[in-house]
Amino acid sequence: MSDRKQQIQDSYKNLGGGFAGFYDGLVSYSTTAGKIANKIMWGFDDFTTSQWLNSALSGIPENFSGKLLEVPVGTGVLTMPLYQTLPDAEITCLDYSADMMENARKRAEYMNIKNIDFRQGDAGALPFPDESFDIVLSLNGFHAFPDKDAAFKETYRVLKKGGIFCGCFYIQGEKKRTDFAVKHLLVPNHSFTPPFETSDSLKERLGNMYRAVKFRTVYAEGIFKCKK
């Protein structure tokens, strides 16, 4: 394991600041309750969680010093350990939820990360000029966005030519237990919003937008790295 991967993994052992909740433990596979829920709904274990996250973040090079947009940032539990390793980057984190973004802001302060600008906003109407960012990262956001077409267009618009769009989100039809949980638990509580992509539909969509696409699945997560 590289030094950066080890540093990120070590950070999950201490989520920090006393504000880590069930959601953080679930997505980072770092608490007992999160591990149980994750195993039941997604089928992940320690190995597949590490595999999934490393793949989703693989579009961000070590020592990156350009401009990066993360949308949505959520609570920052998955990305603040990475941003700790990128002190020369210009990072913008955007989320529609002020409450979740406040947790991300607190986590950044706790981890002494200074080079982040937090912005509240809509992924379907990003408040940035065309071609503003070298990298656009989206972890577990598109399955929640109500207007996915607009979000795909906006993330493409703000990305520089030659830039990288990378990340992951839930795709339908890959794991029955996850499809069941999404349909009966996550859609009713409004944390996931249909319609959902399948592996084939997402590969086709990205292939029609970007000139180079790398795509894989880890259970019900579609993971992508695209070059504009």
How far apart CA 16 and CA 9 sit, in angstroms, is: 13
Please state the rounded mean pLDDT for residues 183-200.
95
Residues with Cβ < 8 Å from 122, sequence gap 6 or more? Answer: 96
Query: How confident is the model at residue 20, as a pLDDT?
Result: 52
In DSSP terms, which residues pair with 120 in a beta bridge? Answer: 95
Q: According to DSSP H, which parts of 71-112 are helical?
A: 80-83, 98-110
Please state the rounded mean pLDDT for residues 194-202.
98
pLDDT digits (tens, 9 = 90+) for 112-170: 999 999 999 999 999 999 999 999 999 999 999 999 999 999 999 999 999 999 999 99
Indicate the range of 14-18, 77-81, 128-132 predicted with least confidence. 14-18
3-state secondary structure 29-59: CCCHHHHHHHHHHCCCCHHHHHHHHHHHCCC
* pLDDT band with cut points at 50, 70 and 90 for residue 200: very high
Helix (H) or strand (E) holding 160: strand 159-170
Look at residue 172 and tell me whether its pLDDT is greater than 50: yes
List the one residue out of 173, 90, 82, 168 whose CA is nearest residue 132. 90
Residue 5 φ/ψ, nearest 5 degrees: -60, -40
* pLDDT band with cut points at 50, 70 and 90 for residue 24: confident
Look at residue 206 and tell me whether its pLDDT is greater than 60: yes
Please say whether the beta carbons of 218 and 178 come within 8 A: no
Query: How confident is the model at residue 49, as a pLDDT?
Result: 87
How far apart CA 86 and CA 93 sit, in angstroms, is: 14
Longest dimension (CA), the chain: 44
How far apart CA 164 and CA 114 sit, in angstroms, is: 23
Instruction: Enumerate domains of the chain plus CATH numbers.
Output: 3-227 (3.40.50.150)
Q: State both tokens at 82.
A: 């990475």
In DSSP terms, which residues pair with 225 in a beta bridge? Answer: 166, 214
How far apart CA 103 and CA 197 sit, in angstroms, is: 29
Look at residue 90 and tell me whether its pLDDT is greater than 80: yes
Look at residue 26 and tell me whether its pLDDT is greater than 90: no
* pLDDT band with cut points at 50, 70 and 90 for residue 23: confident
pLDDT digits (tens, 9 = 90+) for 32-49: 887 888 888 999 988 898
Residue 157 φ/ψ, nearest 5 degrees: -60, -45
Sign of CA dihedral 141, 147, 152, 158: negative
